[in-house]
Amino acid sequence: MARPQKTGLDYFPFNVDLFDDEKVIPISSEFGAKGECVVVRVLCAIYRNGYFAECSEAFKFKIAKQAGVPQSLVSEVISGLVKWGFFDRTVFDSFGIITSKGIQKRWKEATRKRVEKNELEFWLIDDKKEVSGGRNSLNSEFPAEETPLNRSESTQKKRKESKVNKDSNSNELLCKASQPHTEKIDYDSLISFFNSETKGVFGNIKTPLSDKRKSMISARIKEHGKRRFAEVISKAAMSPFLKGQNNRGWTATLDWIIKPTNFEKILSGNYDNRSKENTADNDAELARNVLEGIARANFEKQRRQS
């Protein structure tokens, strides 16, 4: 009986400048060492099992347990890596799979003598254009995590999924369409606009900006573009809730606004009508106080009459 082929790797090349890469800097900036730990765990898991991983809830819980972080943080890190091009967006959005050309090139080179490269699922590389043994030009894309799907699990999935490598030209167009915005950023002009639009409510920001702030701003603009970035600043400036009209008297800041989840909530309009909700709450509280006052007055009146 033939021995089953081993598809996973025992080790993989690790770029010492991984955390200085523009696709990973936002993760380091927002989540610090915990985020970096998740990145490494995900890469190890991918190479341990092959060249791609199914980003299921079970997978994320496994990584969270290994890294000692909340499952929600793992989800945010993986989503960020997809948004910033570290993992291929097309395959992730279509099938929930995390992989990249860089990962697949490394895996292909490491297993060239022991694994038959036939009918590979979610394959992104056009093998006709690849030179065996060539150095991967996508140095920023590194190993990922999770095992190839168990054959029993993948059988059902195959019925629903078309092979990604069936039409390389179509795949290239999809990949290009999913690339992030690559607009040059004039940070001085951007901050001048921010200070003018918000009128100092969120603090007057001074330049030059720190590298951390630049990387966060750059990440948001790469995801959404300059127009959307300006729209978020304007929407935040018009939000009574973000300007302090809330139960805690809390006011947003630039650093809070440019965090991925907060940025998307503002863009989606989550804080647009917060002032109306606060007004309704205040009116309800006032009504309760009036009713309680009337009840106390009636009680005192009855007590005196008795």
Scored b (16 or more CB within 10 A) or e, 68-83 reads ebeeebbbbbbebbbb
* Domain spans of the chain, in order of start: 18-177, 187-272
pLDDT of residue 287: 57
Does the pTM surpass 0.85? The reply is no
pLDDT of residue 18: 85
Q: In 48-168, where do the E strands start and end?
A: 53-54, 97-98
pLDDT of residue 288: 58
pLDDT of residue 12: 82
The DSSP annotation for 230-286 comes to HHHHHHHHT-TTTTT-STT-----HHHHTSHHHHHHHHHTTTTTHHHHHHHHHHHHH
pLDDT per residue rounded down to tens, the chain (306 residues): 445 567 888 888 787 888 888 888 889 888 899 999 999 999 999 999 889 999 999 999 999 999 999 999 999 999 999 999 999 998 898 889 999 999 999 888 888 877 776 668 888 887 655 443 333 333 333 343 333 334 444 444 444 454 444 444 444 444 444 445 556 888 888 898 899 889 889 988 998 899 889 999 999 998 888 888 999 999 999 988 888 888 888 899 999 999 998 999 898 888 886 444 454 555 555 555 556 666 666 666 666 666
Contact assessment for residue 145 and residue 43, using Cβ atoms and an 8 Å cutoff:
yes
Q: Rounded CA gap, 99 and 148, in Å?
A: 10
pLDDT of residue 94: 85
pLDDT of residue 166: 45
**pLDDT tens sequence across 49-100:** 889 999 999 999 999 999 999 999 999 999 999 999 999 998 898 889 999 9
